[in-house]
Each structure stands twice: as C-alpha cells, then as structure tokens.
Structure 1
Amino acid sequence: MTENPWTYSTECGHLPGTDLTGWSVEATDGPIGAVDEHSDEAGDAHLVVDAGTWIFGRLLIPAGAVVAVTPANRTLHLSLTKDQVRDAPQFLADQHLADHQYREDVVAYYRLADPCAGSTDTL
C-alpha cells in the first residue's frame, strides 16, 4: 500500500476523474467484485467494492491498495489476496466519513494485511 493509504500510487496508472463505477476488482489471486462507489477526493480516495454473494456485502478499500489499472478491460488490480479482502472490515456507510476511528480501523487492517508492511514504502 502507498505511504498515504487514501491516495492512488503514481505507478498504478489511475487517471483522476475516471468513473470507475462498475469496473472489475481483482485480488492477487482472482476476482473479488466490482466498484459500487469511489472517490478521487485528495486525501480520501477509496473504492467501495460490492463483493456480491461471495462476501455478502460491500467493502471499503483505500486507493493505496490499487497497484494497477487496466482501462482496456476496465479492471483494477489490488495488492491483496482474496482472503485478505474477505476478512476486511465491511463498508459502513453511516460511519465512513463521520467516524475517524472506523477509518483508522480500516487503515490498520490493510496495513497488517499488506505483504510489504515491513518495507519503507508502506504506512
């Protein structure tokens, strides 16, 4: 994940202003769902992924987890495995923007799930 989890890395290929709604989301080991909502807001870039019946819910994924964007097939690739995504905190619409602790919990989860967490490039 990038140094700021709420920002897309400059290497991932994300173009600000692109409507990502409906794009496929892939973990390192397969598909996890589609983008239901997203934000490019500076310091608050994120995806809300509808994982359908696989997880029975929506997940908040900070933009820093996106490692590659493939516009040709409308796919976002994450630095996370399907298991890491499955165990992630559910998206709580009423808490996302209002509850600072919820956002900290989300970041803490992805920090622990990041396979590169020991490197200097991570949080």
Structure 2
Amino acid sequence: MQPELWNYRADVYGQDRTIDIAGYHVEATDGKIGSIDEATYEVGESYLVVDTGPWIFGKKVLLPASTVTQIDPQEKKVYIARTKQEIKSAPEFDESNFRDPAYRDRVGEYYGRFPFGGPGTI
C-alpha cells in the first residue's frame, strides 16, 4: 500500500485534525459528486467514503485522503483533485471489504496512477 496516497496533504489538513468532514459535500474538478458518509484520519490509512446519490445510481466510492485539495468548513465542502469520470471509473466500492488491505491496495493502484494534485487542483 502507498502510505502517502492514504494521507491528507499537510497544506489541506494539517496536524490539527479537529474538523469532522462527514456530511460535507464533495466537489470533483468538474462538479459535485455527492457527500461524505465516512472519513478517517489515521496516518497512512485515511480515506473518504462518498455517497454519490443519483449521480452514479446511488453508489458509494472510496477515495484516498490525498485526493483532497481543499476543505471549506464555512461552505461544508471538500474539493477533490479528480474528475467525475476518473471517480466513476475507479474500482467498485465494496461495502463489506472496504477496510480490507487487499481492497485498499486495489483502489490505491488505481488512484496511484494519477499525479498528486490532479488535473484541476484548486
């Protein structure tokens, strides 16, 4: 597993992790994709579970913490450095195994192909 992929970047979410971003809306580089159902903050294992609502037929997606480019507590929004299509093409979310290291490795392999900061870093 690539630990840097599963960490929030220091310029986005520093050492003071007092903001709970569960419930925040998520914006890809090309528009809204849903809202955060769950967010974790463990070093080397942080991720977001995003409920996409009607956008991908009510499915959820797992996003490594490193995809987050900005957190806006006033607007309750989290900005992601991926396009809607990149997120839609990711490995399908597995509700029963998403905490399993093998599943996270597969998701990490997919997101690890993209440069940090992504195509439309805010």
Q: TM-score interval w.r.t. the shorter chain?
A: 0.7 to 0.9
Q: Which letter does structure 1 place at the counterpart of 2:10?
A: T
User: 3-state DSSP class of the match of 1:33?
Assistant: strand
Structure 1 Cα separation of the partners of residues 86 and 99 of structure 2:
23
1:46 aligns with 47
Contact conserved, 1:17 with 1:40, CA < 8 A, in 2?
no
2:12 aligns with 12
Scaled by the length of structure 2, what TM-score is found?
Answer: 0.84
1:121 aligns with none
Deviations 1:1-56 (A, max 9, x none): x9711110001146513211110101111110000111112221110000011112
Q: Which letter does structure 2 place at the counterpart of 1:26?
A: E
- Corresponding residue pairs, total: 113
Structure 1 Cα separation of the partners of residues 62 and 19 of structure 2:
18
Structure 1 Cα separation of the partners of residues 3 and 99 of structure 2:
20
2:120 aligns with none
2:90 aligns with 88
Change (3 A) 1:3 1:41: closer
Where does the alignment leave 5 or more consecutive residues of structure 1 unmatched? 118-123
Structure 2 Cα separation of the partners of residues 17 and 91 of structure 1:
27
Scaled by the length of structure 1, what TM-score is found?
Answer: 0.83
How much is the aligned-residue C-alpha RMSD, in angstroms? 1.8
Where does the alignment leave 5 or more consecutive residues of structure 2 unmatched? 117-122
Whose helix proportion is higher, 1 or 2?
A: 1
> Once superposed, which parts of structure 1, at least 4 consecutive aligned residues long, lie more than 3 Å away?
none
Give aligned-pair identity as a percent: 35
